[in-house]
Structure 1
Amino acid sequence: MSITNQQVNEHAFLQMMYEDPYFPNHVLDKGTEILRRLCAQIEAEPPADLTKLYELTQRATEEFNALEAEFEAADSEIETTAREEICEEFCFIADAYGFEDAAPEELTASREW
């Protein structure tokens, strides 16, 4: 998956979580893949408006929902700090692709964590 947005390419996704040993790197790697795949989807088929962006972010959020079981299996969870960082990453992506008006709550509205 090729991403051309320089701001995204220079960004270290989930960095604070990687720095905390409570969060397993192998699960964080999957989270990073979800976020990078979202960026690739936005570049491949740029959303025409916020509604279309939200459709893409909801799919990515549902992938994070599925990761919760893997966090739990590794004696971890998507707790408050993780929730905030993941949501900030969705906001970063929206901003990086010109959707500065995206509502943070809407970007991850289908989250179960």
Structure 2
Amino acid sequence: MYNDGYFPDHLVDKGKAILLSLCGRIETEQPADLAALYALTHAATDEFNALQEEFDAAGSEIETVARDVIGEEFWFVATAYGFDGADIEELIATRDW
């Protein structure tokens, strides 16, 4: 998203921070199963939901391309922590973008 001028870098930075925070929560809380992981990813997705307003104010939005990129990043995080069976759609199921 940094390579696309449609997405303001300072807001992409905020999205990156959400994902890094998710990693920290996974490391701290060590979810035992997918249900526990999904609770964490849903909370992070809710943070992206709130960020949508800032994208709108900047003349941008979390649209199809961004949704796919963000979803893939959530899946990358899940698999990096050993949750290979995570469903990409369930990881971001609470999204409103």
TM-score higher than 0.5? yes
Q: Any unmatched runs of 5+ in structure 2?
A: none
Aligned length: 97
Residue aligning to 1:4: none
Residue 24, structure 1, aligned to residue 5, structure 2: no
- Read off the aligned partner of 2:8 and give its amino acid letter: P
Partner residue in 2 for 1:78: 62
Alignment of 1:32-43 (within 5 A): 32-43=16-27
CA distance in 2, matches of 1:111, 1:105: 10
Matches of 2:70 and 2:10 in 1, distance apart?
16
Separation in structure 2 between the aligned mates of residue 105 and residue 78 of structure 1, nearest angstrom = 16
Please report the TM-score for the alignment, with normalisation by the length of structure 1.
Answer: 0.85
Query: Match of 1:18, SS?
Result: coil
Tell me the residue number matched to 2:81. 97
Mapping of 1:48-59 within 5 angstroms? 48-59=32-43
What's 1:87 paired with? 71
Runs of 4+ in 1 over 3 A off after TM superposition: none
What are structure 1's unaligned runs of at least 5 residues?
1-16
Taking structure 2 as the reference length, what is the TM-score of the superposition?
Answer: 0.99
Amino acid at match of 1:39: C
Q: Percent identity?
A: 62
